[in-house]
Amino acid sequence: MVKLYSKDIKTKEVTEWKGLHLFHFSSSSCSQKARIVLNLKGVDWVSHPINLLKAKNYSEWYLGINPRGLIPALIHDGEVHIESNDIVSYLDDRFETPKLIPAQQRESVLEQLNAENDLHLDLRTLTFGFSLPKFLIGKPPEALDTLASSEGTVEGKKDSHKQVQLAFWRDLAKQGITPEQATNSVERFKRKFTSLEAQLANQEFLLGDRITIIDIVWFIYAHRLKSTGYPFKRLHPGLEAWYQSLLYRPEIAKEVADPLPLKVIRFLTQTYQAITNTTLEKVTGI
């Protein structure tokens, strides 16, 4: 679990904040995950939107809160927590009801959270390749320069994770998403979703008879993949039924509902892809 030390936090004003504060963006999958957990817990929190489209997450002020420039970030009584899976795990530990990480299944939960995290760049790859138009993806060079030159630390040390972020965005600017990248990412998701579907063979949720954090994190990935044109219903019909049952819950549905402008943009993007034979299915052969 990643937790910033006091000396890692350069924007010192947040260390004086009381209560729960979440930095987030409406359409960010990791933000959606955190907001759903907060909804299920029924706790009060203060919203601090960060506009990713304008690269506000790379401002010096925000990098002083999260040196990685990622969202969400959680402030709880002046303590700063980064990385979405660490945030949801922390929230479950601090707010007992409903319990989303059962004590007897904690080891299994942590393994699956790591597996989900390992697919995060694959999620980005497919999102930027098939869900959004080119003019909305990428980061301004000056924003990446700010991240590259920042001297922020994580747990008191220089953070190598920043280089992973910079490499992704710079490669995206140079070459976009290649068919090979898309195909590799799709295959990794297909294997994982097939495995998850097997877990649902004789139970309602992924770890048994009640919802856990594992259902939430994989629901978020399933929801995003569906927006890329991934043929979820055809490839994973059992998982599709599980997905729809979770989407029916208001505390989940409201956090993943796309605003009308985004719906229009995605429709136009995928209409163009259909006309030019550049859909996810066509490019990857899935």
Q: Tell me the pLDDT tens digit for each residue of 175-231.
A: 889 999 999 999 999 999 999 999 998 899 999 999 999 999 999 999 999 999 999
pLDDT value, residue 67: 93
Instruction: For residue 223, give every residue at least 6 positions away whose Cβ sits within 8 Å of its Cβ, in sequence order, or none.
Output: 29, 32, 243, 247, 256
Mean of per-residue pLDDT scores for the chain: 93
pLDDT for residue 261 is more than 90 = no
Select, from the ranges 23-32, 152-161, 162-171, the one with the highest average predicted confidence (pLDDT): 23-32
The mean-pLDDT minimum among 134-138, 162-166, 191-195, 223-227 falls in 134-138
pLDDT value, residue 161: 86
Q: What is the mean pLDDT of residues 109-113?
A: 91
Q: What percent of the chain has pLDDT over 70?
A: 100
Side chain identity at 11, as an amino acid letter? T
pLDDT for residue 256 is more than 80 = yes
What stretches of 49-131 show up as alpha helix (H) in DSSP? Answer: 60-63, 84-94, 106-118, 120-130
Query: Domains in the chain, start-ordered, CATH in brackets?
Result: 6-101 (3.40.30.10), 105-284 (1.20.1050.10)
Within the chain, how many helices (H) and strands (E) appear?
14, 6
CA distances 281 to 85, 228, 273, Å, are 30, 10, 10
pLDDT value, residue 156: 87
Q: What is the mean pLDDT of residues 47-60?
A: 93
The predicted-structure confidence for 10-21, as pLDDT tens digits, reads as follows: 999 999 999 999
Q: What is the mean pLDDT of residues 115-141?
A: 90
* Beta-sheet pairing, 73-76 with 46-49: unpaired
pLDDT value, residue 77: 95
Q: What is the mean pLDDT of residues 102-111?
A: 89
pLDDT value, residue 1: 72
pLDDT value, residue 230: 95
Q: Cα separation of 186 and 230, whole Å?
A: 8
Cβ pair 68, 82 in contact under 8 A: yes
For the chain, the C-alpha Rg in angstroms (whole number) is 19
φ and ψ of 75, to 5 deg: -110, 125
The mean-pLDDT minimum among 84-98, 130-144, 212-226 falls in 130-144
pLDDT value, residue 259: 86
The predicted-structure confidence for 235-250, as pLDDT tens digits, reads as follows: 999 999 999 999 999 9
The number of residues making up the chain comes to 286
Largest CA distance in the chain: 54
Host H or E run for residue 48: strand 46-49
Q: What percent of the chain has pLDDT over 90?
A: 75
Q: Cα separation of 240 and 255, whole Å?
A: 19
pLDDT value, residue 135: 79
